[in-house]
Amino acid sequence: MGSYNNVHRVIKRLQGKKKKQEAQHSDSSHNDSLSPNLEENVTAIKQILGNSPDVRIRSITIPLTKNKKIKAVVLSIDGIIDQQAIREHVIRPLKEEPIDDVGELLDAIQQRIYINEVTVTKALKESLPKVLKGNTLLLVDGLTEGLLINASKYESRSIEESEAEQTIQGARDGFIESLQVNISLIRQRIADPHLHFETFEIGEITRTTVVIGYMSHIVDDALVERVRTRLQDIKVDSIESSGDIEQHIEDHPYSIFPTIGNTERPDVAVSALLDGRVIILINGTPVCLYVPYLFIESLKNVEDYHSRPYYTSLIRIIRFFAFVISTTFPAIYMAALNFHKEMIPSDMIVPVVQAREAVPFPLTLEIIITIIMFEVIREAGVRLPQHIGAAFSIVGALILGEVAVAAGLFGAPTIIIVSISFIAAFVITPITDVTALLRLLFFIGSSLFGAYGLFVMLLAILTHMVSLTSLGVPYMSPLSPFYLRDLKDTIVKFPKRWLTHRPQSIPNKKPKKVESLPETGGKQ
Amino acid sequence: MKKLIMILLFITLLVGCWNSHEIDDSLFVIGAGINRSDGDLIFSTESIKPTSAGTSPQGQTKDNVILQIRSKSMLNAGRQFIRYAKRRLIFTHCRTWIIGEELAKEEFVKQLDILRRHEMLRLNSYLFITPGDPLAILENPSLYDDLSSMEIISAINQTEYNAEYPVINLREFYRLLEEETRNAHLPIITTRRVDESTVTSLEGTAIINNNRMVGKLTINESVGLNILLNKAKGGSLTVELGEDEEENWATVNVKDCYAKIKPRLEGNKVKVDIQVNVVGLLGEYVTNDEVSEDFILQVEEKASEVTKELVHNTIKKLQQLETDAMKLGVYMHRKYPKEWQKLKDNWNEYFKEADVSVRVEHDVRDPGLLMNNLQQKQENEPDRSLYSIF
């Protein structure tokens, strides 16, 4: 225990140092309020922002009544503001007619501006970051207050369908990098005052805008509060992508299972909202996170909700078996061949034996090499530009599939088993990464201890899975904890008519979602 | 973390190093033969040839490895094989066991103790008895499978269409031996020349009593035994109709068969009533008679006669062999549990003396739309030409 205390002491000391440094830092920047002298302000701004080419400082003169004039400065960043709006709705109205110089000048100026979002600011240091996020700062000579005019306009790509999540039926739009657009995509779909968004600014340097959204009359308040505090507690320099947020707030950062869902489709985000989930949008990424995320969702697909229930159920069962096969097939093969030879079907034994005989490596090595080669080919196929990638896949398939077997380096059954395992993983795209890791884990277990090792690994992984939570919600629900009602949309999907309630596994305030449906029938 | 390391350590301690055995260090035995010669066991095995032979210019070569060794015990033989094979022999896929008649006439069941004791050997393997050398069966070139043993095993799935041989796996065999009647029967396998080549063929049944083979049933008697054991679920039965010089016969395609055995004890005499019901289709017929109610009745009657004789002959043979392979003792035990205690020691004596009466009823159904033979149709019914295209 002694060493433990020492460690604690060291940590405390380090933390203490940090605090001191922060205190010193804030001391040095005491001079924050705006000076009445315009020139002084401009020099201060130039000092802080440097000589960046995109910083635009435009001096204007505002005519006042009685032929008086006053100097002003418009500060904006090129490329992230709407130049035309500033010219038409800020500068022109100020210059057109003299302003009555009675009472508060700033109020009078504010009246003239035709832009909705205008705030008064007193501190220069505070307003500059806002300028950097697309506000325009209007400073008037002689006044210690400035106006922050929000007329931002970013360059963004047009709305396209997400490449990762495509459907045959269903919406064709996808999230883009612009937060405003993303919010509008959701707002378009839910015209309800209960749809609330909250804004956070995370990252000392990047000051990334993060928005959470929820349906205030459906969502569990504790869940929203949990998301809110987690986001507020992130004190980092930068947020570069949704992955940062995901890994900063998830319950089990060391687990191989993702406990936060992500989508690029507004319709998925909307159905998440309507289930009582919280969505998290991050400026600059086209990915929307949502919590809680349950394991069973990796076996589902948007398409499932557009199609009729029977085929959907079949496909879901296939996806489930694909997951099992993909993770355990090499392990079972290993256990059967090296440990429990009676497991090999008698009719299959001749080809298996003859294929193994030619291979120079032990079976464990053979399978491991094959798995790694497949991973390499898969990764190369994903990373390479598309036109080279396709060619590479063919080369990889030819080398592994044909030549390696013909040369007697690998047995055909091994290649078949590993490729089935890999192909099956592509059916369940949300957790392909998890599948790859589990496949290796199970394989190591079974290569050391046969079926016993496989089952110990399976049990360990299952135990781990049931202990996972996604922001407080059990990851394996509705299977564990068991919710009978949710089974109507778990592995088998029941007809839509029967799905009258929101999933119980996700805590919500409004369980019922279908009030009544029209009576239908043939003879009427 | 400490806990996790502890758990991992315990896992490794629990099993130790499990026996991982590479396939290319093993030789898979798929068929074995045992025979007796000069007091020793002759143990032969057919194994999978690890390297595919392919097709040689002379013709197909077999993908098997035949080994033979002389030893006192079977386990010992299995280990001694390593000297020849240079690999460990894996018996988990050995499902064919062929026992030579030489050995079968001794108390061979005792010799087979290892079959139910060793963890590698499976109770779903099949036992056969051959009058000749088991090696001849294993070496015999197969018709289609690469390995003779596998080909023999595939016969067990065909009993739906043929009742001419019994199907007894090891588990069944031991179960029979531990039943009240304490006897068993096994199929006999032999080689036969067909045209240029030899094929293996299942012919007849060996009857085992007191741990040794006491006699054989012919193919017909095997059918009778299968009927009595309620195992004949398919097959064919040809009956002669009339004693004319002309060809005049019909074949019943047997679809189901059910035998009811009712023993009675009258004093010290055992009497048995056997009722056999056979359901069949009119499979084919070469006759000049018209297919009518009467004709069907005639076929049914004749078929019943033939079956009755078949069953009678079987029982007579079993009585000669003093072996109750038809499990009459089991029925006795069920009906007379108290009396059975007295009977069971000398049951085979009682069985030998038992009075048997057999009744057979054939039910021939579905002669089909094709009512008559081709020839008659042309003579008698020219106007039904519509059907003649069938």
pLDDT tens digit sequence for A46-79: 888 888 889 989 999 888 888 888 889 999 998 8
Give the pLDDT score at B311: 92
Chain A nearest C-alpha distance from B52 (Å): 6
pLDDT over 60 at B366, yes or no? yes
CA torsion B140→B141→B146→B152, rounded to 10°?
-50
Q: CB–CB of A338 and B92 under 8 A?
A: no
The answer on A462 and A319 residing in a single domain is yes
* Last residue of one domain, picked from the residues A241, A262, A293: A293
The mean pLDDT of chain A is 87
Q: Are residues A284 and A382 in the same domain?
A: no
Q: Answer whether residue B317 is part of any domain.
A: yes
What is the C-alpha R_g of chain B?
27
Indicate whether B166 and B236 sit together in one domain.
Answer: no
Token digits of residue A448: 């050391």
- C-alpha A73/C-alpha A60 separation (Å) is 6
Predicted-complex ipTM score:
0.79
> Which candidate, B219, B247, B251, places its Cα nearest to that of B236?
B251
Q: Is A418's pLDDT higher than 80?
A: yes
Q: Does B63 touch chain A if contact means CB atoms closer than 8 Å?
A: yes
- Of the listed ranges B66-70, B148-152, B284-288, B338-342, the least confidently predicted one is B284-288
Residue A97: pLDDT band with limits 50, 70, 90: confident
| Same-domain pairing of B210 and B224 | no
pLDDT band at A29 (very low <50, low <70, confident <90, very high): very low
Q: Last residue of a domain, which of B171, B190, B217? A: B217
Q: How high is the pLDDT of residue A216?
A: 95
* Among B162, B190, B217, residue at a domain's last position: B217
Same domain, residue pair B134 and B248: no
Terminal Cα distance for chain A, rounded: 81
CA–CA gap between residue B278 and residue B144 (Å, rounded):
34
* Domain assignment of residue B87, given as a range: 22-217
The confidence score (pLDDT) of residue B131 equals: 92
- How many angstroms separate the CA atoms of B363 and B383, rounded? 32
> A3 versus A101: which is more confidently predicted?
A101
Decide if B1 is inside a domain: no
* Residue A32 or residue A143, greater confidence: A143
Task: Determine, yes or no, domain membership for B116.
Answer: yes
- Summarised one tens digit per residue, pLDDT across range B125-163 is 999 999 988 998 888 877 776 788 888 888 777 766 788
Same domain, A377 and A345: yes
Measured between beta carbons, which residues in chain A are less than 8 angstroms from residue B153?
Answer: 346
> Residue B368: pLDDT above 80?
no
Whether B3 maps to a domain, the answer reads no
Q: Is the minimum CB–CB distance between B118 and chain A shorter than 8 Å?
A: no
Q: Say if residue A144 is in the same domain as residue A252.
A: no
Stronger pLDDT, A473 or A143, i.e. the higher one: A473
Residues A210 and A142 in one domain: no
Task: State how far the Cα of B232 lies from the Cα of B159, in Å rounded to an integer.
Answer: 8
Residue A441 lies in a domain: yes
Q: Is the torsion defined by CA of A15, A18, A24, A28 positive or negative?
A: negative
Residue B152 shares a structural domain with residue B296 = no
- B75 lies in the same domain as B30: yes
Place of tokens 């963004």: A156
pLDDT digits (tens, 9 = 90+) for B328-345: 888 999 999 998 888 888
| % of chain B beyond a pLDDT of 70 | 86
Q: Is the pLDDT of residue B13 over 80?
A: no
Do A139 and A199 fall into the same domain? no
What is the tens place of the pLDDT at every residue in A191-230? 999 999 999 999 999 999 999 999 999 999 999 999 999 9
List the single residue in B24, B90, B120 with the smallest CB-CB distance to A357. B24
Residue among B26, B48, B153 minimizing CB distance to A350: B48
Same domain (yes/no): A345, A398: yes
Q: So what's the pLDDT on residue B55?
A: 47
Q: Helix A242-249 crosses helix A221-232 at what angle (to 10 degrees)?
A: 110
Q: Which residue has the higher pLDDT, A176 or B153?
A: A176
Which chain B residues are within 8 Å of A337, Cβ to Cβ?
Answer: 23
Distance from CA of B228 to the nearest CA of A (A): 32
**What is the pLDDT confidence band of residue A18, given thresholds at 50, 70 and 90?**
low
The answer to whether residues A332 and A459 belong to one domain is: yes
Structural domain includes residue B49 = yes
Q: Are residues B113 and B203 in the same domain?
A: yes
Q: Same structural domain for residues B31 and B110?
A: yes
The 10s digit of each residue's pLDDT in A333-370 is 999 999 988 889 888 888 888 888 888 899 999 999 99
Q: What is the pLDDT of residue A327?
A: 96
At residue A334, the pLDDT reads: 93
pLDDT of residue B388: 46
Are residues A458 and A391 part of one domain? yes
Q: Quick one: which of B111, B178, B183, B142 has its CA closest to B46?
A: B142
B59: pLDDT strictly greater than 60: no
Arithmetic mean of pLDDT, A86-107: 84
Task: Answer yes or no: is pLDDT of B62 > 80.
Answer: no
B7 domain-assigned: no
Residues A257 and A319 in one domain: no
Q: How many other CB atoms are there within 10 angstroms of residue B228's CB atom? A: 22
Give A110's Cβ-side CA count (13 Å radius). 17
Domain end point (choices A244, A260, A293): A293
Query: Which residue, of B194, B217, B240, is where some domain finishes?
Result: B217
Q: What percent of chain A has pLDDT over 70?
A: 94
CA nearest neighbour of B89 among B108, B123, B66:
B66
Q: A410 is in which domain, residue-wise?
A: 306-467
Closest CA to B165 of B185, B138, B135: B185
Residues of B in contact with A464 (CB under 8 A): none
Residues B156 and B254 grouped into a single domain:
no
Cα(A392)–Cα(A403) distance, integer angstroms: 15
Q: Which residues of B touch A357 (CB under 8 A)?
A: 23-24, 50-51
* Any domain includes A518: no
Residue B31 has a pLDDT of: 92
The number of distinct structural domains making up chain A is 3
B206 and B294 together in one domain: no
Report how many domains make up chain B: 2
Of the candidates B211, B197, B350, B359, the residue with the CA atom closest to the CA atom of residue B274: B359
d(CA B18, CA A369): 23
A237 touches chain B (CB under 8 A): no
Instruction: Please indicate, yes or no, whether residues A191 and A270 belong to a single structural domain of this protein.
Output: yes
Residue type, A464: H
